[in-house]
């Protein structure tokens, strides 16, 4: 919570307080009994400033995407609140959310699954505009052409279908669609994970260009640290549904405090063979615990080489350790 | 990546990549499907024949003519006459009207019910799904003859009631198929994208989910049409369908139950049988072609 109050004074666009998303696990045929809870997201506090790119990293299954979806109310959260400007999104009905959907958008991971295969590009991009009655039918073509140019697509192809485009082009269509409603905040859910490495750079650059042009704010979800390092201003590291460390990009890479962050960073390959040979990897033991049966205390305690008694008994809170740096670790506190 | 940048003014004059509207492409794809075109031509020919011919043939389909009983095909009666002297060709044409409209109307009824119920079950899931699907199962495992007999007994046997009874009982498979497709499609990312874009639920269901779920539904609907024509034949056979003297291909086949007719008068029942077979086949081919035509991924 400390983090939130601290940031409030500058221009916070979106803040998340104590967000929890739990999925009940049921069993049985006739009478479904609840046999457990998957705590996909288990108490998140962070805030995103206007016009910044906030990176969210962590290994698969740690709740990154769930967080993004919960913010857009595509998944209902169990507890906690999400404030966009002054509005509490979690308290709104889906109907009240409608006008806000213009501001809050999402770019999806898989450009093959996120576009309706039966619609030509012109309809894919203009559907949201028509749903929010922002354009008339006659303006449709012009507006779509504008958007396509913005993302570097040739508007001549607006009558084509998604399968006639390459992966990178499809992702551009997805980006154009999310920009159609003049979004202010975009959740990028691993937007480049499904693309070729050569295309990844193009899409990343496109995202940055558009951000500069339109003054967007991104929540950038990824598991690739080098990409996050390139695009983000601040980065939050997630482990098993919790944020273990939040700090600026530079600080995170130069002075990681949480053992988990250190482990992650040590796994990033270096593009220089001489340095790469000297790179030492911190190898953690064991597997990621199941989110159904989380360890008591610090979630990372079962794998952390420095785990002490307190780590296994009490959960560390996210605490400010230096300017712009918050860590949830007993060792550091 | 084509990076040609157009200035704002030139967008109006943009030359679109040539006439590739969905409808145009679909027609092209359908035309390339030879069997479907064959089916379309045959069915079209039959339709025109059954619509036009009865206008000119007058009463020969109904009037008893004891001087010309049980004649084999001749110039006067192209397809011969039946055991009470009615012209078989005239009866075939009028019967075609009846059979084809039974097929068409009952398929419209069954597909509408099936798609709506299946779509609701698939999209909303949970309790809605549970209730609708158990209802579907109940209809499915009920012996349909018993229900038809009850329905006909209550409503009285007539052409429309036959269509209604068949339509109301044959939607179950379509409902199951639609539900299955919807269950699979609603988890797709483009539906999630729709929801995050604030697109309204009816648009999502009818504009985005349905077109993607349609191909198996169309195929199933054409089979249903073929089935409906056969079911009508079966019902007429039991005296529950189209009532004599109104002919239908079904009740004309029924006359072949007498051994003498079956053995000595093949012209009475063979043409009706062939017409049913040809119609059913054509409809199936057309369904196949339609499925391909509506899939944008099929190459031209």
Window 145-204 of A, Cβ < 8 Å to B: 145-146, 149, 152-161, 163, 166, 168-169, 174, 177-178, 180-181, 202
Strand bridging mode A79-84 / A87-88: antiparallel
Looking at residue B7, what is its pLDDT?
45
B196 vs A181: CB contact, 8 Å cut-off?
no
| A116–B212 C-beta distance less than 8 A | yes
The predicted pLDDT at position A6 comes to 46
What is the per-residue DSSP string for A126-149? HHHHHHTT-S-GGGHHHHHHHHHH
Topology of domain B30-50+86-293, per CATH?
Answer: MetI-like fold (1.10.3720)
Instruction: Break chain B into its structural domains and give their ranges.
Output: 30-50+86-293
pLDDT of res. B108: 93
Under the banding of pLDDT at 50, 70 and 90, the label for residue A3 is very low
Cβ of B1 and A152 within 8 Å?
yes
Q: Which residue of B has its CA nearest to A94?
A: B198
Per-residue model confidence (pLDDT) at position B17: 55
* Interface predicted TM-score (ipTM): 0.81
Average pLDDT over residues A234-258: 89
* Number of Cβ pairs < 8 A linking chain A and chain B: 104
CA geometry: angle at A251 spanning A321 and A305, to 5°? 65
- Going residue by residue through chain B (300 aa), what tens digit of pLDDT does each one get? 444 444 444 444 555 555 456 677 778 888 888 888 999 999 999 889 888 877 777 666 677 766 766 666 766 666 677 767 677 788 888 888 888 888 889 999 999 999 999 999 998 888 899 999 999 998 888 887 788 778 877 887 778 888 888 888 889 999 999 999 999 888 888 888 888 888 888 888 888 888 888 888 888 888 888 788 878 877 777 777 777 777 888 777 777 777 777 777 777 788 888 888 898 889 888 888 888 887 776 665
- Whether A174 sits inside 8 A of B193 (CB atoms) is yes
Highest mean pLDDT among A21-35, A41-55, A300-314, B47-61: A41-55
Chain A, window 96-135: residues with a beta carbon less than 8 angstroms from a chain B beta carbon: 97-98, 101-102, 104-106, 108-110, 113-120, 127-128, 131-132
pLDDT score for B299:
60
Say what the pTM is: 0.79
**Apex B44 CA angle, B104 and B242, nearest 5:** 35
> Which of B1, B16, B199 is opposite residue A159, by nearest beta carbon?
B16
- Mind telling me how many Å the CA of A297 is from chain B's nearest CA? 35
C-alpha to C-alpha distances, A301 to A258, A321, B142, nearest whole angstrom: 11, 20, 60
Which residues on A lie below 8 Å from B296 (Cβ)? Answer: 117-118, 161, 163
The answer to whether the Cβ–Cβ distance between B16 and A156 falls below 8 Å is yes
DSSP string, A69-95: HHHTTSS--SEEEEEETTEEGGGS-HH
Q: Which of B251, B238, B239, B249 is nearest to B275 (CA)?
A: B249
What is the pLDDT at residue B77?
A: 67
On whether any CB of chain B is under 8 Å from the CB of A316, the answer is no
Token pair 């740096």 in the structure block, residue: A325
The structure tokens listed for A123 are 């309809």
**B11/A113 CB distance under 8 A:** no
Tokens of B66: 């004891």
Quote the minimal CA–CA distance from A69 to chain B in Å: 9
pLDDT the model gives residue B174 = 92
pLDDT at B1: 41
Q: According to the model, what pLDDT value does residue B8 have?
A: 45
Q: Which domains does chain A have, with CATH numbers?
A: 2-50+62-96+238-327 (3.40.50.300)
Judging by DSSP bridges, how do beta strands A12-27 and A79-84 pair with one another?
A: antiparallel
- B201 CB neighbours in chain A (<8 A) are none
Of B2, B8, B296, the CB nearest to A118: B296
Q: Provide residues of B within 8 Å CB-CB of chain A.
A: 1-6, 8, 11-12, 14-17, 20-22, 188-190, 192-200, 203, 207-208, 211-212, 296-297
A163 with B6: Cβ contact below 8 A: no
Judged by CB atoms closer than 8 Å, whether chains meet at A108 and B212 is answered as no
Write down the residue that tokens 């959260």 correspond to. A77
Whether residues B17 and A156 touch (CB distance < 8 A) is answered with: yes
Taken as a whole, chain A contains a residue count of 333
Interatomic CA distance for residues A221 and B229, integer angstroms: 57
- Decide if B84 contacts B255 (C-beta within 8 A): no
Nearest to A70 by CA among A208, A217, A219: A219
pLDDT band at A2 (very low <50, low <70, confident <90, very high): very low
Q: pLDDT tens digits, residue range A76-107?
A: 888 888 998 888 888 888 888 888 888 899 99
What's the pLDDT band for A139 if we cut at 50, 70, 90? Answer: confident
């Amino acid at each position: 919570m400390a983090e939130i109050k601290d940031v409030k004074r500058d221009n916070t666009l979106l803040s998340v307080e104590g967000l929890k998303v739990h999925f009940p696990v049921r069993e049985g045929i006739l009478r479904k009994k609840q046999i457990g809870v998957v705590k996909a997201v288990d108490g998140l506090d962070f805030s995103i400033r206007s016009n910044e790119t906030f990176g969210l990293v962590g290994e698969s299954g740690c709740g990154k995407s769930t967080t993004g979806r919960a913010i857009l109310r595509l998944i209902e959260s169990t507890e906690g609140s999400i404030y966009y400007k002054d509005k509490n999104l979690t308290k709104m009905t889906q109907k009240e959310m409608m006008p806000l959907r213009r501001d809050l958008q999402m770019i999806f991971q898989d450009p093959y699954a996120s576009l309706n295969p039966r619609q030509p590009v012109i309809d894919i991009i203009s559907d949201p505009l028509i749903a929010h009655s922002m354009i008339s039918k006659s303006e449709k073509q012009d507006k779509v052409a504008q958007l396509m140019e913005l993302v570097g697509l040739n508007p001549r192809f607006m009558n084509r279908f998604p399968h006639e485009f390459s992966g990178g082009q499809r992702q551009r269509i997805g980006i154009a669609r999310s920009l159609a409603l003049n979004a202010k905040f975009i959740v990028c859910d691993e937007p480049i994970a499904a693309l070729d490495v050569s295309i990844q750079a193009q899409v990343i650059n496109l995202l940055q260009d558009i951000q500069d042009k339109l003054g967007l704010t991104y929540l950038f979800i990824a598991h690739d640290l080098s990409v996050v390092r390139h695009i983000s201003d601040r980065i939050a590291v997630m482990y098993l549904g919790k944020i273990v460390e939040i700090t600026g990009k530079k600080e995170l890479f130069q002075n990681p405090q949480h053992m988990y962050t250190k482990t992650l960073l040590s796994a990033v390959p270096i593009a220089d063979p001489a340095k790469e040979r000297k790179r030492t990897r911190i190898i953690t033991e064991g597997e990621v615990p199941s989110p159904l049966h989380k360890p008591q205390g610090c979630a990372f305690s079962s794998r952390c080489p420095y785990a002490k008694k307190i780590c296994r008994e009490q959960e560390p809170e996210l605490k400010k350790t230096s300017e712009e740096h918050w860590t949830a670790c007993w060792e550091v506190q | 990546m084509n990076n040609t940048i157009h200035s704002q003014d030139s967008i109006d004059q943009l030359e679109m990549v040539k006439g590739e509207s969905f409808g145009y492409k679909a027609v092209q794809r359908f035309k390339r499907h030879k069997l479907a075109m064959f089916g379309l031509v045959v069915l079209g020919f039959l339709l025109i024949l059954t619509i036009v011919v009865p206008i000119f043939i007058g009463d020969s389909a109904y009037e008893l003519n004891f001087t010309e009983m049980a004649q084999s095909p001749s110039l006067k009666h192209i397809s011969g006459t039946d055991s009470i002297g009615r012209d078989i060709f005239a009866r075939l044409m009028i019967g075609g009207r009846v059979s084809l409209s039974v097929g068409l109307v009952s398929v419209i009824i069954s597909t509408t019910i099936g798609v709506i119920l299946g779509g609701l079950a698939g999209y909303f899931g949970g309790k809605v799904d549970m209730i609708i699907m158990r209802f579907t199962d109940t209809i499915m495992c009920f012996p349909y003859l018993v229900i038809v007999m009850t329905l006909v007994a209550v409503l009285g046997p007539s052409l429309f009631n036959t269509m209604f009874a068949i339509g109301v009982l044959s939607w179950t498979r379509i409902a199951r198929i639609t539900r299955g497709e919807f269950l699979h499609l609603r988890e797709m990312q483009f539906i999630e994208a729709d929801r995050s874009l604030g697109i309204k639920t009816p648009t999502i269901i009818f504009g985005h989910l349905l077109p993607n779920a349609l191909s198996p539904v169309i195929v199933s609907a054409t089979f249903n049409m073929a089935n409906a024509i056969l079911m009508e034949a079966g019902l007429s056979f039991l005296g529950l369908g189209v009532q004599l003297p109104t002919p239908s291909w079904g009740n004309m086949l029924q006359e072949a139950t007498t051994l003498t007719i079956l053995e000595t008068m093949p012209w009475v029942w063979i043409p009706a049988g062939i017409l049913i077979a040809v119609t059913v086949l054509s409809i199936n081919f057309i369904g196949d072609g339609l499925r391909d035509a509506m899939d944008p991924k099929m190459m031209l």
